[in-house]
Amino acid sequence: MSSVITVDEHRARILAATTRTALVRLPLAEAVGRVLAEDVVSRWPVPLFDNSAMDGYAVRGVDATKGAVLRVVADVPAGSALDPTIGAGEAARIMTGAPTPSDADAVVPLEHTDLGTVITADAPATITVTREPTAGAHIRRVGEDAPAGAVAVTAGTVLGPWQLSAIASAGHARVTVHRAPRVAVVSTGSELIDPAGTPTRGQIPESNSVLLAAAVRSAGAEVVTVTTVADDESALIAQLVDLEADAVILSGGASVGAFDVVKSVLDGTGTIEFGPVAMQPGKPQGFGTDDAGRLVFALPGNPVGVAVSFEMFVRPALLTMAGRSVIERPRVTRAAATGWRCPVGRTQFLPAVIDADTVRPATAGGSGSHLVTSLALAHALAVVPADVDRVDEGDLVEVMVLS
């Protein structure tokens, strides 16, 4: 893999090696963001029983003519197990959602009686009907929404708050989902110091592990370890041994330099290969499956290159592992608010800001991969094809929207 390959080729190689994680059964509260692995069927009809759609009075329709005075003989709150007998000229006070008595065939809402809309704590002795109900009025029938055994939520659904609610309503407290991918983040480089430290000549603050760990979590995966290691082969090897992870993301040391320890340790291990990808930033890339079956992403060391590489290669793989079918960021087309230069022969991914109708570089004056301050402002990546050498003001540009 020493010849240059395209972004699409590298991505296809990654996705071909990516498999879904194992299935686990989780309580609903822990399943947010996971992908449902099998259809969830309702354990019962929905609604579960005939119930009132309104606060009001359950009646025998034949009695509830306009002006009729009915004796209130029972009170049926929501959750009540009562099934009171309703005789001629009688009614039961009933709350929304409460089971309608077997003797009743309609509900007269509060506001169709002489009692207005506000119920008092104690039930009245009688009510006067001010509007006659139609047959079956305001009764939700058992199973009218769905029969027992109906599929409530289909396999492949990404579980958000609403979907989890529907699963609980279908009678399930746990679900079978693809386990969250477990990811180790390893930042490499002898030049890296803690951001709060004081750099001496040649040292720079370590920022990639923060970016990658946050990005992994934002993609719904689990971060198992975050470490920084020096450019030392034995230190790196020690770090990688026994990692309980589905994927390892390394940054730094992937280029052609003599001190590129990540490459020297990993190149040729399992199916791992290193080589240039025709993109800016992010040219030096390594990828493959190690002997333990973990996906290994070796990204370049500069922060913008890391950000772009995560978006283009790691995130789609993590979403695929998690069972998602939609793994692409949405893309829009916008006119460039200003011009900028692009490298010929490499696809450019430029941290960008989308204004109302236009897109512009997040930092004016440069597209270099070292312009980390551009990351602070960017919420998108402008994607410029490899055969374009410059974008002029007004040119239409494709933009990946990240938030």
Locate all alpha helices (DSSP H) within 219-292, ordered by sequence: 233-240, 261-266
Gap between the Cα atoms of 294 and 290, Å rounded: 5
Binding mask 335-374 for a copy of itself (x = CB under 8 A): ----------------x-----------x--x-x-xxxx-
User: How far does CA 218 lie from the centroid of its chain?
Assistant: 8
Gap between the Cα atoms of 256 and 247, Å rounded: 23
Which one among 135, 173, 356, 364 touches a copy of itself, defined by CB under 8 A? Answer: 173
Which range touches a copy of itself (CB under 8 A), out of 129-137, 214-222, 242-250, 338-346? 214-222
List the end-to-end C-alpha distance of the chain, in Å, as a whole number: 34
Q: Residue 48 has which token pair? A: 């579960």
Scan residues 222-241 and list those touching a copy of itself (CB under 8 A). Answer: 226, 231
Residue pair 180/218 in contact (Cβ under 8 Å)? The answer is: no
Which one among 153, 180, 183, 240 touches a copy of itself, defined by CB under 8 A? Answer: 153
Residue pair 43/168 in contact (Cβ under 8 Å)? The answer is: no
Residue pair 192/253 in contact (Cβ under 8 Å)? The answer is: no
Which CB atom, from 24 or from 375, has the smaller least distance to a copy of itself?
A: 375
Q: Residue 372 has which token pair? A: 């980390």
Scan residues 279-308 and list those touching a copy of itself (CB under 8 A). Answer: 301-303, 306-307
Which one among 88, 135, 196, 241 touches a copy of itself, defined by CB under 8 A? Answer: 196
Which CB atom, from 6 or from 264, has the smaller least distance to a copy of itself?
A: 264
Determine if 325 is a binding residue for a copy of itself (CB under 8 A): no
Beta strands, E only, 154-236: 174-178, 182-188, 192-193, 204-205, 222-229
Gap between the Cα atoms of 33 and 314, Å rounded: 18
Look up residue 370 and give its DSSP letter. T
Residue pair 262/250 in contact (Cβ under 8 Å)? The answer is: yes
Determine if 212 is a binding residue for a copy of itself (CB under 8 A): yes
- Collapsed DSSP state (helix, strand, coil) of residue 78: coil
Scan residues 51-110 and list those touching a copy of itself (CB under 8 A). Answer: 53, 55, 75, 77-83, 93, 95-99, 110
Which CB atom, from 336 or from 362, has the smaller least distance to a copy of itself?
A: 362
Which CB atom, from 17 or from 32, has the smaller least distance to a copy of itself?
A: 32
Which CB atom, from 17 or from 235, has the smaller least distance to a copy of itself?
A: 235
Least CB distance from residue 240 to a copy of itself, whole Å? 20
Which CB atom, from 269 or from 289, has the smaller least distance to a copy of itself?
A: 269
Which one among 293, 376, 387, 392 touches a copy of itself, defined by CB under 8 A? Answer: 376
